[in-house]
Chain A
């Protein structure tokens, strides 16, 4: 396939992925809006009003970046894991496997679907947060780059989960038992400075902490960690996951007997 044919193929997969989650917006776009709204009401208004300021911000304002990024992470991941696993489950992935599509185009196509959903849900979460908080963007470049890079990273992770998954249970285990705890312990609702020293050190092992804090910096200008380190870690994960996912495709792991 030449370059222009590859671009046609990429546009085909990306459009198909986009239409898939838009068609079922009641399942994909509406629930995050409600969930984020509830987080703001419960943690921001009800509990947050009892909590002191963090880094000079009201608790409600402090949790905005984390909640937006949490929505981006979970939806980028969920879109790719469910779409690619469904394609495996219904065997419609074979339409792509028999075609001359390069593996990189298949991967980027699915990831772009995840990023599209992550972005739309992130925008919805931001709009919801405007009802509760006066969001300011401290650094546009950091904010948007962390937003997109995090979405790419978790879309790739979702793809790998789907490739290995053999049943629908397998695509819920990682989000439930790994992703959600890491997000909650990744500084969405607190600053790690509030933790005992030992737990501060342990928290540094959590990669989501770096994304959340970098996004904190982008929106609020405060962070528990160094921004450059956060970018290096995020990019490192993206590169590793991208090549790992490509290897799964080229070996046919989880796809070909």
Chain B
């Protein structure tokens, strides 16, 4: 069953801006789905429409088979939203924010208190339950919004840049928590500017640009399309000059660092052998950029008719 189906979704704002020009999307139940796009692509508008915060101009939205126009109550019951901006009353205590949110879904206070305890403990906010929300740090506020979105046990959790501005340690702990939530059966849709996050967490991906869906596929299928990967190679010893490396495009960054472009049909171990023959030992390596990032830039630029910036030059 599909958790979400969007057909020809269009949105024109009152000022005449056409934010969505026909978005098509389908997300399977249980999926961890990445919705990506550059700033202003229309991701937040799509999320706003699904979660009833933005009125659509035309098109169809179905959540677990319920049509947004015909049965918006059932649609909303299934959705948990973690928006991009903090949208709770900062003058309310943390615990009350969760309990009130459960109340809006008809969950009685006794049950809401139990659920709030579970989520606050899992997201390491239990000690803050009596504190005013304004006293929380940015990372804590993000976790509070995740806890709030889960209070009514939604089948579809929508996260709009949930880790924006969060330090790396908390980000990783949030990833683990979201993986756990997904493993328990909750379908998750994630938008993020950290493409590493999307690559690590998501199975399927859609890219929106300029109000239309330009790609929807499996993450691994998409990554397989990457023709060239750029690696940074760290050398054991100083190197005076760059040797000839055959068909490989290699650039010298400094005396102990090289950058190499590896085409899909090329083998990086062959390059290592070539370098070793020239007395250059590679001790470690890393991708220059995140693979998805490289592909994302390439796709968005191609769509906009810009030169492919992901193509390295030798």
User: Do A and B make up one complex?
Assistant: yes
CB distance from B149 to the nearest CB of A (A): 9
Residue from B13, B52, B105 in contact with A5 in the complex, judged by beta carbons closer than 8 Å: B105
Residues B37-55 near A (CB distance < 8 A): 48, 51-55
Cβ contacts under 8 Å, A252 to chain B: 55
Interface assignment of B236: CB less than 8 Å from any CB of chain A:
no
Q: How far is the CA of A98 from the CA of B156 in the complex (A)?
A: 13
Give the total of A residues in contact with B, Cβ under 8 Å: 29
* A5-B77 Cα distance, complex, nearest whole Å: 12
Instruction: List B contacts of A98 (CB < 8 A).
Output: 51-53, 76, 79, 81
Closest to A105 in B: B104
B89 interface residue per 8 A CB criterion = yes
Q: Is the CB of B79 within 8 A of A16?
A: no
A13 to B54, CA, bound (A): 22
Using CB atoms, name the residue of chain B closest to A96.
Answer: B104
Number of interface residues of B (CB under 8 A): 34
Cα separation A102 to B53 with both chains bound (whole Å): 15
Q: Contact flags (1/0) for B82-126 with A, using CB distance below 8 Å?
A: 010111111000001000110111111100000000000000000
The A interface, classified by DSSP as helix, strand, loop or mixed, is helix
The reply to whether B14 and A101 form a contact with Cβ atoms under 8 Å apart is no
Contact across chains for A99 and B83 when beta carbons are under 8 A apart: no
Q: Assess whether A4 is in contact with B87, with CB atoms less than 8 Å apart.
A: no
Question: How distant is A193 from chain B, measured CB to nearest CB, in Å?
Answer: 48
Given contacts A12-B100, A94-B87, A97-B53, contact A257 B14 (CB under 8 A): yes
Binary flags per residue of A6-17, CB closer than 8 Å to B gives 1, else 0: 101101110010
Are B105 and A257 neighbours in the complex by a CB distance under 8 Å?
no
Tell me the smallest distance from the CB of B230 to a CB of chain A, in Å: 41
Q: Is the CB of A101 within 8 A of B87?
A: no
A-B contact count (CB 8 A): 84
Residue B73 lies at the interface, judged by CB distance under 8 Å to chain A: yes
B74 interface hit (Cβ, 8 Å): yes
Q: Which residues from A are CB-within-8-Å of B103? A: 8-9, 11-13
Q: A92-B88, A100-B76 are in contact. Are A257 and B54 (CB under 8 A)?
A: yes
* Interface-central residue, B48, B51, B77, B103, by most chain A CB under 10 Å: B103
Question: Are A92 and B105 in contact, with the CB atoms below 8 A?
Answer: no
B105 and A9 form a contact (CB under 8 A): yes
A8 and B155 CA atoms in complex are apart in Å by: 22
In the complex, A95 Cα to B80 Cα: how many Å? 10
Give the CA-CA distance A101 to B107 in the complex, in Å.
Answer: 12
Q: Which residues of A contact B152 (CB under 8 A)?
A: 99
Q: Is A87 an interface residue (CB 8 A)?
A: yes
Q: Decide if A228 is an interface residue (CB 8 Å cutoff).
A: no
On whether the beta carbons of B74 and A100 are closer than 8 Å, the reply is yes
Contacts of B72 in A (CB 8 A): 100
B135 to chain A, nearest CB (A): 16
Pairwise interchain contact A8-B76, C-beta atoms closer than 8 A: no
Enumerate chain B residues within 8 angstroms of A1, measured Cβ to Cβ.
73, 77, 105-106
List the B side residues contacting A87 at CB < 8 Å. 89
Q: Interface digits, B252-295 against A, CB 8 Å rule (1 contact, 0 not)? A: 00000000000000000000000000000000000000000000
Q: Interface readout for B202-223 with A: 1 if CB under 8 Å, 0 if not? A: 0000000000000000000000
Name the CB-closest residue of A to B158.
Answer: A98
Q: Tell me if B85 and A91 are in contact (CB < 8 A).
A: yes
A27 at the interface (CB under 8 A from B): no
Asked whether B76 lies within 8 Å of A99 as measured between CB atoms, the reply is yes
User: Do A95 and B106 have beta carbons less than 8 Å apart?
Assistant: no
Judge whether A8 and B51 touch: CB under 8 Å: no
Closest approach, in angstroms, between the C-beta of B159 and any C-beta of chain A? 13
Q: Which residues of B contact A86 (CB under 8 A)?
A: 89
Q: Which residues of B contact A91 (CB under 8 A)?
A: 83, 85-87
A155 to chain B, nearest CB (A): 20
Least CB distance from A96 to B in Å reads 6
A97 to B54, CA, bound (A): 10
Alpha-carbon separation in the docked complex, A236 to B87 (Å): 36
B14-57 contact mask (Cβ, 8 Å, vs A): 1 or 0:
10000000000000000000000000000000001001111100
> Could you tell me the distance between the alpha carbons of A102 and B104 in the complex, rounded to whole angstroms?
10
Interchain CB contact under 8 A, B104 and A95: yes
The answer on a CB contact under 8 Å between A2 and B106 is: yes
B139 to chain A, nearest CB (A): 19
Which residues of A have CB within 8 Å of B86?
Answer: 91
Interface centre among A2, A92, A252 (most CB of B within 10 A): A92
* Cβ-closest chain B residue relative to A8: B106
Of all chain A residues, the one with the shortest Cβ separation from B13 is A257
Q: Are A100 and B105 neighbours in the complex by a CB distance under 8 Å?
A: yes
Query: 0/1 per residue, A55-98, Cβ < 8 Å to B?
Result: 00000000000000000000000000000001100111011111
Encoded as 1 (CB less than 8 Å from any B CB) or 0, chain A from 214 to 257 comes to 00000000000000000000000000000000000001100011
Report the separation of the CA atoms of residues A127 and B55 in the bound assembly, to the nearest whole angstrom.
48
B275 to chain A, nearest CB (A): 55
Q: What are the 4 closest A-B residue pairs judged by CB atoms, nearest first?
A: A5-B106, A12-B103, A91-B87, A99-B104
Interface residues of B (CB under 8 A from A): 13-14, 48, 51-55, 72-74, 76-77, 79, 81, 83, 85-90, 96, 100-101, 103-109, 148, 152
- Chain A interfacial positions (CB closer than 8 Å to B): 1-2, 4-6, 8-9, 11-13, 16, 86-87, 90-92, 94-102, 251-252, 256-257
